[in-house]
Amino acid sequence: MIPGLIALLALLLFFITFILALIIPKRMMRKFNEKYRKRKYALLYPAICLIVFIISCTFLPLPPPKNASVSTTNTPDPATTSSTSDSSSKQTPQDEYDKWVPYELGRLAMTAANNGNSYRSIYVQEDPWLNTGGTYLVQVELDAEDGASNEMVLKTNNTLAFNVAKALYNSNIDIGRLMIRMHNKLISPNGDKHDTTIIQYTLDKKTAAQINWKTSVPQNFNAVVDDTYLHPVLLR
């Protein structure tokens, strides 16, 4: 603290005496003989101040090296470590299972939907009311198959939805309700194309348990599910 104040004062006096030595050297040296009243002798004052400044700086404490804090940043905080371990310890097998279910169902649905060519997405959530008899509510979004007629469109999409439902309900994952929505581009009267759900199947766990997936006819899938929605364009 004291060496710093002395260094600061010496530096200030250095500038003051240096300027005065250049401007009024005779007045600075008026207490001395005439031969010493010259600028070169007046510059001794700022020189002395500079020497004092340099000496004072040698007593100033050195700053810590830049890498001095590396060990502290790399040292784990006990509180953080404790909270992290606590949170990880709270992960139960059920939590891990719930995270795995959407990925597994998505993989199965993608494979069943023409190896992903007709697959869009899947949404999985736990049944908050448990009124379906199962644990999970599943919604699968697919691209609808085309056909030469409305009857062919229905049959080809029945087969596609049947394959997806079969794969999901045979996965041993407790699905309470499965909804499969088929999308297609429909042209509006003004010529714009709109992505529209043309068929929607709803199949509950109890109904799925009654389906013989080996002998059931895929093209008649809409007749065995709990509910089927058909867009008016398919009813013409």
What is the tens place of the pLDDT at every residue in 64-74? 444 433 333 34
Residue 2 CB coordination number (10 Å)? 8
Q: Which residues contact 79 (CB under 8 A, 6 or more apart)?
A: none
Say if CB 195 and CB 185 are below 8 A apart: yes
The C-alpha atoms of residue 153 and residue 160 are separated, in whole angstroms, by: 11
Average pLDDT over residues 31-38: 71
pLDDT at 55: 80
The Cα angle at residue 88 between residues 85 and 91, in degrees rounded to 5: 150
Cα distance between residue 142 and residue 197, in whole Å: 9
Judged against a pLDDT cut of 80, whether residue 133 lies above it is answered with no
Most trustworthy range by pLDDT among 4-8, 96-100, 222-226: 222-226
Residues with Cβ within 8 Å of 195's Cβ and at least 6 positions away in sequence, in order, are: 183, 184, 185
Reported as a single tens digit per residue, the pLDDT across 180-218 is 999 999 887 788 888 999 999 999 999 999 999 999 999
Residue 169, burial from CB neighbour count under 10 angstroms (0-12, 13-18, 19+)? buried
Query: What's this model's pTM, rounded to 2 decimal places?
Result: 0.60
CB atoms within 10 A of CB 201: 24
CA–CA gap between residue 22 and residue 20 (Å, rounded): 5
Q: Please provide the average confidence, as pLDDT, over all residues in the chain.
A: 82
Positions of E strands within the chain:
119-126, 136-143, 175-187, 193-204, 227-230
Cα separation of 133 and 176, whole Å?
A: 6
